[in-house]
Amino acid sequence: MKVKFWGVRGSIASPGPKTVRYGGNTTCIEIRTDNNELIILDAGTGIFPLSQTLLSELPVTANVLITHSHWDHIQGLPFFIPNFIPGNTLRLHGSFDPVSGKGVEQVMSVQLQYSYFPVREAEMKARIEYVTLGPNQTFQLGSATVTPCLLNHPVINFGYRIDCNGKSVFFTGDHEPPYNIYEPSDEGFEEYQVFVDEKNLAIDAVLEGVDVLIADCSYTDAEYPAKKGWGHGTFSTSIQSARRAGAKVLYCTHHEPTRSDDALEVAFKDALDANATVTTELDVRLAREGDCYEF
């Protein structure tokens, strides 16, 4: 299996001289199975440069797995070049939205309103299909088995586990480890803690034995208290999650958009130092645009 990063910034694209080493595009990850089947995790601005490379292998069938519908994970979809070329297929997978009452099709329909984008969906030449998923409903994409797992973010967010020929990858999308919203002295604390413990155990069960974990590491430990409830993890929480899972490699991604590459490397080093006792058997890396990991 092959993993390639096309976008690793969170929240908003951040191009410029201070982000050139790790890249300024928002989330997009290319997965290739051993049979060269194409799976794309999220469709942030990084999907545009990815789509340019696909022009050499037309026609393509692109299975895009959307973790959630926040802009930085979907805003590249209208610019996915194969959509404009007959013979291609875009198959968009994602969750049902209980707020709007709609499935993953709204990810495209909202963006392609004529007020916001000059080309309507009906004018696109590729075949566009929609697959609305439920949590823990494992399904097959060619030779790969995909399991969506409901994680913790202010909207419905699926992490995806992809298994193929004995190899596995898990991508969290945006995820803040569940925590107790009550104080220990509050009446509801113990009851809610049962829910938190069960949720964390369920997430750990899906991650168990994964080879490569790609995780939301937006914040440092010092930054997190001011960001609690925003739906993002820290370097430390992701390192601990990878260690519990027995992962071989952890890629830290969703880099804070205001953090320069220099500052990112300092934060990463500090996190490794703070978690030195649990990283002895774990390969921890900063995700970087263009990086490719094959195993």
Q: What is the pLDDT along the chain (295 residues), one digit of tens a residue?
A: 999 999 999 999 999 999 999 999 999 999 999 999 999 999 999 999 999 999 999 999 999 999 999 999 999 999 999 999 999 999 999 999 888 899 999 999 999 998 999 999 999 999 999 999 999 999 999 999 999 999 999 999 999 999 999 999 999 999 999 999 999 999 999 999 999 999 999 999 999 999 999 999 999 999 999 999 999 999 999 999 999 999 999 999 999 999 999 999 999 999 999 999 989 889 999 999 999 999 9
Query: What is the pLDDT at residue 107?
Result: 93
Query: What is the pLDDT at residue 99?
Result: 85
Domain boundaries, the chain: 2-294
Query: What is the pLDDT at residue 48?
Result: 98
- Region of residue 166 (phi > 0: left; psi between -120 and 50: alpha; otherwise: beta): left
Integer CA distances (angstroms), 194 to 39, 156, 157, 178, 197, in order = 36, 21, 21, 11, 5
Calpha distance 35→44 (Å, rounded): 25
Contact 146, 189 (CB under 8 A): no
* Residue given tokens 């997009």 in the structure block: 28
Tell me which DSSP letter residue 174 carries: S
Contact 49, 26 (CB under 8 A): no
Give Dmax (Cα) for the chain.
Answer: 62
Query: What is the pLDDT at residue 167?
Result: 98
HSE of 209, CA atoms in CB hemisphere, 13 A: 6
CA quadruple 235, 237, 243, 245: dihedral, nearest 10: -120
Query: What is the pLDDT at residue 57?
Result: 96
The CATH code of domain 2-294 reads 3.60.15.10
Contact 168, 149 (CB under 8 A): no
Q: Residue 239, Cβ neighbours under 10 Å: how many? A: 25
